[in-house]
Structure 1
Amino acid sequence: MAAMAAMDGECIPFARAQDSATAAPLAVIAFVQTWFGPSQMAVRQLLTAGPANGVEVFFVDADQEAHKAHQLGLWASPAFLFYARGCQLMIQRPETDDATKYVGSISTEELDSLLHQARECLATNAIVLRAGRVWCSGNLTD
């Protein structure tokens, strides 16, 4: 747990993260491994981008919650679950099946795009986020 403290993020049990995420207008649950460099980077990205986009972020230790992660089909970290108004959002990624999670390292631009799209879901009631879109000057482009 000391590694997570150094990352300035606190891991909570999945059940608590899910309850909090479904109660928030916008939220992300991130399954991370505190010792894993890409997870540490994802934590830093979310700690910056989440609040800047009005998104509550909850971290879950993928090692401590391995059983739950596997139940959710998460076999790698970092992994992100996006929520708008309590509804888990669907992620469309090029050249992969649609899923309720984004698994793997993510660029800051991609994360910003997904968070902006999630915020738009509040206004449009959409439930799909499209990865591979770029957020540029207030507009999404492919």
Structure 2
Amino acid sequence: MLWLHLKIPTDSKIVKPLKIEAGRTDIRLNKNYRSTRCIDEAASCLIQNNSKRSQLKNVLTDNSSGSKVTSCSAGLKTFVVDKILEMSSDLQQITCFCNVAILYRRQVSGKAFQMAFRDRKIPFNIHGVAFYRKK
């Protein structure tokens, strides 16, 4: 599995520490039922680098180890897509495009990826999570 992520500055207004009120209990869900061990370990490594996180969370799974995760950082979206193409030509690194994930912070960034994938005839699916929904 290959994870590519863009270096985007974090906005301190977006990440706020969670306050546990008096009399309330903090319940942590530490078991992952879907991901492989390699994916969980890679995610934990990324999370540990978040200096604004109040507590570390170790996620565990009973699933198999799965394929090794490769992480690449890139500043330009076209470079990311070209890097995927380059790695796919070496079948040892990418055997199927379905094993590639690109993580980006802002929804507007996805448009450039879509255009680059279409231009290079790479199949893709977009899955997003809306952090701020209009009311």
TM-score by length of 1: 0.25
Higher relative contact order, chain-length normalized (CA < 8 Å, sep 6+): 2
